[in-house]
Amino acid sequence: MKITKLLATSAIVAASLAFTLPAYAEAESDDPIIMVQNNWTSQLVLSFVVGKTLEGMGYTVEYAPSDSQLQFKAIADGDMHFQVEAWEGSMKEAFEKAVADDGMVDAGTHTAATREEWWIPDYVLEKCPKAQDWKGLDACAEIFATAETKPKGRFVGPPADWGKNYAARIDALQMNFKAINVGQAATLWAELQSAYDRKEPIVLFNWTPNFIESKFKGRFVDFPKPEKGCMEDKAWGPNPNATGDCGAPHSGWLKKAAWSGLAEKYPKAWAVMQKVDFDNAQIASAALMVDVDGMSPEEAADKWIADNSAVVEGWKK
């Protein structure tokens, strides 16, 4: 009796394997293409746009959520296949490491340019009219101070793991600010929302394109334009004794990342992925449908495809 039971169990296990294995091997091109999904609006909508386009071509598409840093390891391993938004600002290090280690490939750059810089809501200009310029901002640093940063102003900086060093820039420009790093992007928005509701002066790290533009009125602070000399030549820029005394580039890249096996496994899909290209206005309109009109990212993607059918058809050619 015992032996028969044992046999029964092992037979069931073996059979389940046997049945799924041939199906697995046979349906190679039927395997789903896995799109990475992060937790911000534009990325979600755009990944649905690409995913639905591929589905329209007959592919099976699945969506896998991932942390925006761990995703590159997953793509390089082929566990996930395509990331539609890789940001120079926050992901450069991990992106380049994954490409260098093989497994992940750079699937091209979007037309959209990204910018990340210090950012102020417009009402700050009432209290500090020249705040758009870094010198003007520095002159009224005190209005941004909190108890623990006094007399220095408080700059709410990006998450520490994004590889930015704003403390160094503040030192190089000899500004009267202290950088407080947050732990995640949502923290930035909570700070902004709270200050915005109370019209309290705040200067924080922000980037474009992103949903903040459609909800809050504000602008980037202008810093000395970065040129080649800034990082290498101490004499360059406002501070003759320091390097790094300049702002961030005004047009950072927004790339697509893909698993290196795609080209071989799904050649047609790979061709489409390489052609996929969004500009700033398209990204903003995609995010707007979710952030302002309250659609779900999936609905927004359907609408975006309907509104931009010419663009989508262009990718398929």
Partner 1 sequence: MNSAVTDVGKTPQSSVPGLNAFWVQMAAMICFTVLLSLVLDFMKVWPQEWILPIKERITEFFTWLDKEAGIGQLKFKTVTRSVSWLLEQPLDWAEYILYRGIKAKQLPAIFWIFMPVIGLAVLHKRFGLQKCLIAVAAIWAITLADNVVIQSGLYELPRTTMDALGIKKLDALPWVVIVAGAGILGHWIGGWKLALFSAGCIGYLAVMGLWRDSMKTFSIVLVSVPFAVVLGLGLGIWVTRSKRAAAIISPMFDIMQATPHMAYLVPVVVLFGAGQVPAMIATVIFAMPPMARCTILGIQTVSSDVQESGRMSGCTPRQLLWKVTLPSSQRILMLGVNQVVMQTLAMVVIASMVGAQGLGHKLLFSLQQLRLGAAVEQGLAIVLMAVVLDRLTQAYANRAPGELASRETGWRARKHLWLFLGVTVAAYLLAQFIPMVEKYPRAFTFTLGRNIDFALRAFSKHAYDYINPVRDFITVYMLIPFRDFFLWLPWSTVIGVVGLAAYWLGGIRTTLLTTGLITAVILVSGNWEQGMLTLYLVTSAVILCVLIGVPIGIWASRSERAARPIMATCDTLQTFPSFIYLIPVIMLLKVGDLSNVIAILAYATVPAIRYTYLGIKRIPEVTIEASIANGTTPLQRLWKVELPIALPEIMLGINQTIMMALAMTAITALIGSSDLGQEIYRALPTSDSGRGIMAGLGIAVIGIVADRLIQAWAAERKKQLGIN
Positions in the binding site for partner 1 (CB under 8 A) = 1, 4-5, 7-8, 11-12, 15-16, 18-20, 22-23, 27, 30, 34, 37, 39-41, 44, 63-67, 69-71, 73-74, 77, 79-80, 91, 93-94, 97, 146-148, 156, 159-161, 163, 180-187, 189-191, 193-194, 197-198, 211, 291
Closest distance to partner 1 from the beta carbon of 79 (Å): 4
Q: Least distance to partner 1 from the beta carbon of 236, Å?
A: 30
Cβ proximity to partner 1: between 20 and 111 the closer is 20
Q: How far is the CB of 185 from partner 1 (least distance, A)?
A: 6
Whose Cβ is closer to partner 1: residue 170's or residue 230's? 170
Cα(252)–Cα(191) distance, integer angstroms: 25
Nearest approach, Cβ of residue 198 and partner 1 (Å): 6
Shortest separation between residue 108's beta carbon and partner 1, angstroms: 22
Q: Of the two residues 245 and 291, which places its CB atom closer to partner 1 in the complex?
A: 291
Task: Please say which residue, 73 or 115, places its beta carbon nearer to partner 1.
Answer: 73
5 vs 317, which CB is nearer to partner 1? 5
Provide the minimum distance between the beta carbon of 6 and partner 1 in the complex, in angstroms, as a whole number.
11
Residues shown for the chain: 317
By beta-carbon proximity to partner 1, the closer residue of 56 and 183 is: 183
Strands 115-121 and 177-181: unpaired
**Rounded Cα–Cα distance for residues 272 and 315 (Å):** 5
CA 100: distance to chain centroid?
A: 20
CA distance 261 to 267: 10
Give the shortest CB-131-to-partner 1 separation in angstroms.
20
C-beta closer to partner 1: residue 5 or 228: 5
